[in-house]
Amino acid sequence: MEIKVIAGDITQVEADAIVVNVFEGEQPGGATAVVDKALDGAITRLISSGGIKGKFGEVSIIHTFGKLPAGIAAVAGLGKRQDFTLDKVREVAGESCRSLRKLNCHRVATIVHGADINGIESEASAEAIVEGSLLGLYSFSKYKKPEYEDIKEILIVEREEGELPALERGSHKGKVMAEATSLARDMVNQPANYMTPGRMAEVAKEIADKSKLEINIFDSSDMEAMGMGALLGVSKGSSQAPKLITLSYKGNESSESAIGFIGKGVTFDSGGISIKPSEGMSEMKDDMAGGAAVMAALSAIAQLKPKINVVGIIPATENLPSGSALKPGDVIKAMNGKTIEVVSTDAEGRLILADALSYAVKQGLSPLVDLATLTGACRVALGTGYSGAFGNDQELIDNVRRAADKAGEKLWQLPLPEEYKEQNKSEIADIKNIGERYGGAITAALFLAEFTDNSPWVHLDIAGTASSSKGSGYIVKGATGVGVRTLVELALSLATKCAEPFASCHSEGVERPKNLTQGKLREGY
Ligand code: BES
Ligand code: ZN
Ligand code: ZN
């Protein structure tokens, strides 16, 4: 699909449809008022008759019958003005594009929704329109013809020519973000017979070649040499070879430091010997969504080029039962030397992350952010709208929260209480891999914390948010691509932060003032 930003009057644009908007309980303003006039007051009349309410999510179709070059004027409801947010721009764009695709529109022009409302800048709005449109139109069509033909072109139309550079910048970033999110969705939507650990490594290679990233693919003999007994343990039951994938982006040549993104890549989680009930088991092809998000985020970061170094680490394996599988009660040793009693082979995500986090620490990466479809308990706690956020450094957690907020991805912080650590204590090993029945998302996160060596770290449990059972806004049924945009925004914000007040902290390798680093983010990431 092509996206263009053009200067002009939306009433004059040659397109199959134009999209304008109206707030709930208000009369048309700006470009919508101009379109209303060209349509002899059709929008105003529909508002007074109650046909258009302006409610959020409403898309009203008006056929223009020759009054405008475009055959259709779609009026998108923005809801109440005071409730309007940037994420609503994404949703409005997604909903209106989907409605117009159903009507066989190929070329769609839109005004810039919400710019200057509630502090929303036009650049951010253009970004959100592009993200919302592309993600709302996403479909997974590898094995089945899509239901509708694609919209081929979206035109973002602005009257003020001076606004174009900002809109172009926003539109470019939006396209990069949406394409990366779609890449993650594609990987997650692929069935597990296709998206094996080996295939994940191939996709990583494709990303690395395209984006000029450094790549390492470690196989089981490398894992053995590095002492990754936990990742190897989980992989033992499967005939698919495990892979540990690393993708490195170097945006700051003058710094040796890098931040680490770690993503769980279980390409199918049957539970292993602690096998899951068969009902709903097919959903467990999504268990590599964290790994997919990390890979996709690296591909977007490579295009947006922030001045920061980022390493993505993806432990990829299947979790299957067999004669060679890990058994409940087995004891394995992670790369950092800690022994783990495997009480349930279904708590495998934390095992492979134990090795991946140990590896990240050994590489000196800091801060660390991991993403994992880790626990059903997190989905029970927060539902499917919020990912759980945990961490050992409040400043980093707040940075991640701000990044998520900017990206339109919802997080909710959960605690890491010292007193729950007791639950992970084992009689025969340093730690065991499950706690008590309640608070399972927390004990899982506390388990991970044992492998971070107190580096600043945030864990995002995306078990509830990685896929959706229904489409709305810019979410479609299936994989959501959650986490990609949060990670990219985080990398951008950490790069800017260093570049602005402490420009020297990267370029000359000078340490940041001590009072800002003590117990907080480590210097130089
Ligand atoms: N992959 C699952 C978690 C999951 C559940 C993801 C539902 C998405 C939707 C994870 O490996 C798992 O099986 N966790 C167990 C942990 C338990 C054995 C302590 C769980 O949540 O039941
Ligand atoms: Zn599991
Ligand atoms: Zn799992």
Query: How much of the chain, in percent, has pLDDT values that exceed 70?
Result: 94
d(CA 378, CA 389): 10
Closest CA to 180 of 525, 492, 473, 400: 492
pLDDT above 70 (res 510): no
Strands (E), 386-485: 387-391, 411-413, 431-432, 457-461, 467-468, 478-479
Tell me what pLDDT residue 498 has.
60
* pLDDT bucket at 499, cuts 50 / 70 / 90: low
Closest CA to 433 of 359, 337, 334: 334
* pLDDT bucket at 523, cuts 50 / 70 / 90: very low
Residue 515 CA: distances (Å) to CA of 308, 364, 391, 499, 508 = 22, 22, 21, 18, 19
Query: How much of the chain, in percent, has pLDDT values that exceed 90?
Result: 93
Tell me what pLDDT residue 162 has.
96
DSSP state of 470: S
| Segment 98-151, tens digit of pLDDT | 999 999 999 999 999 988 899 999 999 999 999 999 999 999 999 999 999 999
pLDDT above 70 (res 224): yes
Instruction: Over range 488-492, report the average pLDDT.
Output: 98
Lining residues, ligand 1, CB within 6 Å:
269, 287, 344, 346-349, 373-377, 379, 434, 440, 463
d(CA 204, CA 11): 45
Tell me what pLDDT residue 496 has.
74
pLDDT above 70 (res 511): no
AA identity, residue 486:
T
d(CA 517, CA 288): 34
Residue 264 and residue 188 in contact, taking contact as beta carbons nearer than 8 Å: no
Assess if CATH 3.40.630.10 describes domain 214-504: yes
**Mutate-to-test residue for ligand 1 from 273, 350, 374, highest number of ligand atoms within 8 A of CB:** 374
- Average predicted confidence (pLDDT) for the chain: 94
Tell me what pLDDT residue 116 has.
87
Tell me what pLDDT residue 512 has.
34
SS (H, E, C) 317-342: EEECCCCCCCCCCCEEECCCCCEEEC
Instruction: Over range 375-396, report the average pLDDT.
Output: 98
Q: Is 401 one of the annotated active-site residues of the chain? A: no
Considering the entire predicted model, what is its pTM? 0.94
Within the chain, which residue ranges are assigned CATH 3.40.220.10? Answer: 2-160
Q: Given strand 17-22, what is the order of strands in its sheet?
A: 2-7, 153-158, 107-111, 17-22, 72-77, 59-63
Q: Is 173 one of the annotated active-site residues of the chain? A: no
Closest CA to 391 of 380, 404, 379: 404
* pLDDT bucket at 213, cuts 50 / 70 / 90: very high
Ligand 1, closest atom to CA 434? 19
Tell me what pLDDT residue 237 has.
98
Peptide bond into 277 cis (omega under 30): no
Within the chain, which residue ranges are assigned CATH 3.40.630.10? Answer: 214-504
Assess if CATH 1.10.3720.10 describes domain 2-160: no
Higher per-residue confidence, 68 vs 517: 68
Sign of CA dihedral 437, 279, 262, 322: positive
Ligand 1, closest atom to CA 377? 21
Residue 69 and residue 15 in contact, taking contact as beta carbons nearer than 8 Å: yes
SS3 label, residue 272: coil
| Segment 13-67, tens digit of pLDDT | 999 999 999 999 999 999 999 999 999 999 999 999 999 999 999 999 999 999 9
Tell me what pLDDT residue 115 has.
87
pLDDT above 80 (res 300): yes
